[in-house]
Amino acid sequence: MVHLRTQDVAVIGICAAVYAVIGRLTDLGLTFLGVAFYPAVIVPAVFAALFGPWVGGFGAGIGIFIRDVLFHGNAALSLVAGVPANFLVFFLIGYFATKEFTPRKTMASLLVAAVVLCISLVIPVALLPADFASYPTNFSSLIVLGAFVATVIVCIAAIAAVGLKWRQWSSYVVGSVVAQAIGAALLSVTVWGVSPLFLSYFGKPIPVEWILPIFVWTFATEIPFVLVLGPPIIRASQRAFPTLRKKTEPKATQ
Q: From CA 132, how far away is CA 54, in angstroms rounded? A: 40
The arithmetic mean of pLDDT across residues 88-109, rounded, is 80
**DSSP label at 119?**
H
Over 80: is that where the pLDDT of 186 sits? yes
Number of CB atoms found within 10 A of residue 144's CB: 22
Q: From CA 233, how far away is CA 95, in angstroms rounded? A: 18
pLDDT tens for 217-233 read: 788 788 888 888 888 89
pTM (predicted TM-score)? 0.79
pLDDT, greater one: 3 or 64 = 64
